Amino acid sequence: MKIKYIHRIILIASLILLATTMVAHAGDSYRVSRVVDGDTIEVRKGSITLKIRLVGIDAPETSRKKHMPGQPYSQQSTQTLNKLVLSKTVDVKTYTMDRYGRALSEVFVDGSNVNLEMVKVGLAEVYRGTPASGQNLSPYWNAEEEAKKAGRGMWVQGDKYVSPREWRKEHQN
């Protein structure tokens, strides 16, 4: 029993070490191989695949169950991110790793901040949890306010809008 516990600790420590050595740094370029949802992508560089959570934003939640629609605007959010980044070369600025081993990063296509663009078009809100250390969220808050006023994307729902954070709480298994 003790040996299994030690092996688990060694495995976890090894995975953490591997993840931190694979973290993208400012200016690193990758090719986007997959769009998971409206705020998560996978990128590749050679034999390295890295899962990236777009830092500073929270997009409507997709369903984890087949044939379920998920949160309103989740499919539009995923499709928009897909159009912005899939199969493109992106520059990545990583702030830290999250508890799931994803790099919390700002992603840029041709110098344009994709994270911020998702907020501008109304298909993501500013992340309501603890912000990444060093990230300036002022442009994000301004973009969200502008998208709300214009009724873009998910903001057209008005009073019926539910934040992704609240939606996750209500729909946990």
Per-residue model confidence as pLDDT tens digits over 30-73: 999 999 999 999 999 999 999 999 999 999 999 877 777 789 99
Cα distance between residue 123 and residue 64, in whole Å: 19
Structural contact between residues 50 and 42, judged by C-beta atoms closer than 8 angstroms: yes
Provide the pLDDT for residue 20.
44
Cα separation, 161 vs 167, in Å, equals 10
> Domain residue spans in the chain?
24-170
- CATH class of the domain at 24-170: mainly beta
Both tokens of residue 134?
């060093």
For residue 136, the model assigns a pLDDT of: 95
- What are the pLDDT digits (tens) for 99-138? 999 999 999 999 999 999 999 999 999 999 999 999 999 9
- Cβ 104 vs Cβ 20: under 8 Å: no
**pLDDT score of 171:** 82
Question: What are the pLDDT digits (tens) for 141-167?
Answer: 999 999 999 999 999 999 999 999 999
Two tokens, residue 87: 């199969």
The DSSP string of 98-143 is: -TTS-EEEEEEETTEEHHHHHHHTTS-EE--SPPPTT---HHHHHH
Determine contact, residues 116/143, Cβ cutoff 8 Å: yes
The pLDDT score that the predictor gives to residue 66 is 74
Residues known to be catalytic:
53, 61, 102
**How far is it, in rounded angstroms, from Cα 48 to Cα 164?**
30
Cross-strand pairs, 105? 54, 94
